[in-house]
């Protein structure tokens, strides 16, 4: 029987056991499953016990007191070390629900793609959502894909979900990899293992490019296979417990920029050695991926096809343009007048030259709409600025409060 190596990294998650039970109960062949769980738990959580699976030979439970955890990518790497030549692998989070026969459906989709000439297909997506408080009635009925959202100020590519139309007979080509749903050949665990030095941000874009350059072709399932919970309201995340999570994330940002050449960074021989086992593949190049996806890392630019989410592959020679999207958060208390005529948002480069300005004549409304956390989101075709200034103009006082910061 063809086997499936299930990877679940769980951090103090009350949805873990319902996820495991739903996974098993909805599999056509539960005996084919090997379920490996990085169980990051706290003694405070009396409900977080996997004792009922302790004697089940299908389970490999890695016991990790939550204080010892180094983050999601580290936990996923711990799981992959237990891969034992299973035919396929499915990486998940710990908060999912599944359609009946999900295992048969995944295998069929992969084999259909192999029959079309894709030797190493990878099914992955930001799959449709569910709400554990209103399940199953709140399960979204349509499959989702992944589209480009932005380069973060740190140079990490973020994604957004989109609805896939119910007209496709096969999985559709994808630009990006999702860490919460990835089904492919089992050998992926050894060919493209998770980099334990990454923390959270950078995980998905780095594996996207590494998978593609190792010869994997990315696809979004054209039918619903499972659902994922996105909000996790009121639940403890790793960064809630780890006081050094930001430092870990900064390391991940720098490591991702170096690996992909963001902002023209060059991976020196010394850096190359630090990526041993977690490097770019040799079946394709980063440039090949950039053409395919319509993303260029060296100047944080994209093509129109990428922006409009036109299915890949892209075209050699396509025009790239810089894309900058940023949400500016500031304190309501920084602005004390009640008669603002407008506020100027100004971006400048490292030399202090102004590269963008927009006047917000509705600044009073921006402040009042969310006093606890006022924000302004900018989404423009421009190079990444170095500095921002928000300068308010009052009818009674003229130029008034001014705040600024580094991007």
Give domain status of residue 235, yes or no: no
Predicted pLDDT of residue 370 = 85
Evaluate whether residue 272 is within a structural domain.
yes
- Name the token pair of 346: 């100004």
Same-domain pairing of 251 and 131: no
The winner for highest mean pLDDT among 14-18, 153-157, 273-277 is 14-18
What are residue 406's DSSP bridge partners? 387
- What per-residue confidence (pLDDT) applies to 193? 98
Backbone angle region of 161, left / alpha / beta, with phi > 0 → left and psi within -120 to 50 → alpha: beta
197-219 pLDDT per residue, tens:
999 889 999 999 999 999 999 99
Indicate the residue among 288, 303, 322 that finishes a domain. Answer: 322
Residues 74 and 27 both lie in one domain? yes
- The confidence band for 268, taking pLDDT boundaries of 50, 70 and 90, is confident
How confident is the model over 111-130, as a mean pLDDT? 98
Q: Does residue 23 share a domain with residue 108?
A: yes
Judge if 131 and 186 occupy the same domain: yes
Answer whether residue 386 is part of any domain.
yes
pLDDT of res. 382: 86
User: How confident is the prediction for the chain on average, in pLDDT?
Assistant: 94
- Rounded to a whole number of angstroms, the distance between the first and last alpha carbons of the chain is 53
**Region 183-192 average pLDDT:** 98
Residues 141 and 257 in one domain: no
Based on the fold, state whether residues 27 and 126 are members of the same structural domain: yes
Residue 374 · residue 359 · CB < 8 Å = no
Q: Is 190 within the bounds of a domain? A: yes
- Angle of helix 203-213 relative to helix 245-260, nearest 10 degrees? 30
Separation between Cα atoms, residue 49 and residue 43, nearest integer Å: 10
The model's confidence at residue 313, banded by pLDDT at 50, 70 and 90, is very high
User: Which residue from 11, 10, 9 is spatially nearest to 237, judged by alpha carbons?
Assistant: 11
pLDDT > 80? residue 177: yes
CA distance 73 to 9: 9
Judgement on whether residues 290 and 215 belong to the same structural domain of the protein: no
State whether 309 and 341 are in the same domain: no
User: 1-23 in b/e burial notation, b at 16+ Cβ within 10 A?
Assistant: eebbbbbbbbbbbbbbbbbbebb
* Structural domain ending residue among the three candidates 200, 228, 256: 228
Task: Confirm whether 234 is domain-assigned.
Answer: no
Does the pLDDT value for residue 380 go beyond 90? Answer: no
pLDDT classification of 13: cutoffs 50, 70, 90: very high
Task: Tell me, yes or no, whether 125 lies in a domain.
Answer: yes
Distance of CA 111 to the CA centre of its chain: 26
Shared domain for 146 and 281, answered yes or no, is no
CATH, residue 39: 3.90.550.10
SS3 400: strand
**Shared domain check, 343 and 305:** no
Q: Going by C-beta distance under 8 Å and a sequence separation of 6 or more, which residues neighbour residue 10?
A: 16, 37, 38, 39, 40, 41, 93, 94
Do 315 and 348 fall into the same domain?
A: no
Question: How many distinct structural domains can be found in the chain?
Answer: 3
Q: Would you state the pLDDT for residue 235?
A: 82
In a domain, 233, yes or no: no
Please state, for a pLDDT cut of 90, what percent of the chain lies above it. 82
Domain C-terminal end among 288, 322, 356 = 322
pLDDT score, position 252 = 94
234 pLDDT above the threshold of 80: no
Instruction: Give residues with Cβ within 8 angstroms of 137, minimum separation 6.
Output: none
Model confidence band, residue 331 (pLDDT cutoffs 50, 70, 90)? confident
Q: How far apart are CA 39 and CA 12, in angstroms?
A: 8
Is 279 part of a structural domain of the chain? yes
User: Which strand (E) or helix (H) includes residue 108?
Assistant: helix 102-115
Q: Which domain holds residue 214?
A: 4-228
Q: Say yes or no: 305 and 329 in one domain.
A: no
CB-based contact 331:405 (threshold 8 Å): no
Output DSSP code: residue 276.
Answer: T
Half-sphere exposure of 381 (CA within 13 A, CB side): 7
CATH number at residue 388: 2.60.40
Distances (CA, A) of 349 to 116, 300, 356, 378, 387: 48, 15, 10, 16, 7
Q: What is the pLDDT of residues 250-263, one digit of tens each?
A: 999 999 999 999 99
Per DSSP, the residues of 309-330 read TPPSP--TT--EEE-EEEEEE-
User: What average pLDDT score do residues 102-120 get?
Assistant: 98
Distances (CA, A) of 295 to 49, 72, 113, 183: 44, 26, 25, 24
pLDDT at 311 over 90: yes
Which pTM value belongs to this model?
A: 0.90
The first and second tokens of residue 254, run together, are 């720098």
What's the pLDDT score for residue 233? Answer: 78
175, with CB counted inside 10 A (0-12, 13-18, 19+), is: buried
The highest-confidence range among 54-58, 326-330, 331-335, by mean pLDDT, is: 54-58
């Amino acid at each position: 029987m063809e086997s499936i190596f299930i990877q679940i990294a769980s951090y103090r998650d009350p949805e873990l056991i319902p996820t495991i039970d739903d996974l098993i109960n909805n599999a056509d062949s539960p005996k084919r499953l090997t379920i490996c769980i990085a169980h990051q738990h706290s003694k405070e959580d009396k409900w977080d016990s996997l004792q009922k699976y302790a004697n089940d030979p299908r389970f490999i439970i890695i016991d990790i007191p939550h204080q010892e955890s180094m983050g999601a990518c580290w936990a996923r790497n711990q799981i992959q070390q237990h891969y034992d030549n299973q035919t396929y692998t499915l990486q998940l989070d710990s908060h999912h629900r599944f359609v009946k026969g999900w295992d048969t459906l995944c295998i069929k989709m992969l084999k259909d793609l192999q029959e079309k000439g894709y030797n190493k297909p990878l099914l992955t997506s930001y799959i449709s959502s569910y709400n554990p408080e209103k399940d199953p009635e709140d399960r979204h009925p349509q499959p989702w894909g992944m589209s480009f959202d932005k380069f973060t100020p740190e140079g990490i590519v973020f994604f957004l979900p989109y609805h896939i139309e119910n007209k496709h007979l096969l999985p559709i080509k994808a630009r990006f990899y999702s860490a919460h749903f990835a089904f492919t050949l089992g050998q992926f665990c050894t060919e493209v293992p998770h980099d334990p030095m990454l923390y959270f941000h950078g995980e998905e874009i780095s594996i996207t490019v590494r998978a593609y350059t190792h010869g994997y072709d990315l696809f979004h399932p054209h039918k619903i296979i499972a659902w994922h919970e996105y909000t996790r309201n009121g639940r403890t995340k790793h960064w809630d417990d780890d006081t050094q999570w930001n430092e870990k994330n900064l390391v991940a940002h720098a490591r991702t920029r170096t690996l992909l050449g963001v902002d023209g960074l060059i991976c020196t021989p010394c850096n190359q050695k630090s990526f041993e086992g977690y490097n770019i593949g040799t079946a394709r190049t980063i440039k090949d991926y950039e053409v395919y996806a319509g993303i260029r890392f060296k100047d944080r630019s994209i093509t129109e096809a990428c922006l409009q989410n036109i299915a890949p592959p892209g075209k050699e020679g396509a025009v790239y343009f810089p894309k900058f999207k940023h949400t500016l958060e500031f304190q309501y208390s920084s602005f004390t007048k009640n008669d603002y005529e407008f506020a100027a948002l100004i971006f400048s480069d490292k030399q202090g030259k102004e590269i963008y300005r927009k006047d917000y004549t509705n600044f009073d409304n921006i402040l009042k709409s969310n006093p606890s956390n006022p924000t302004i989101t900018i989404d423009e075709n421009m190079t990444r600025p170095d500095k921002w200034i928000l300068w308010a103009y009052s009818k009674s006082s003229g130029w008034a409060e001014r705040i600024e910061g580094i991007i």
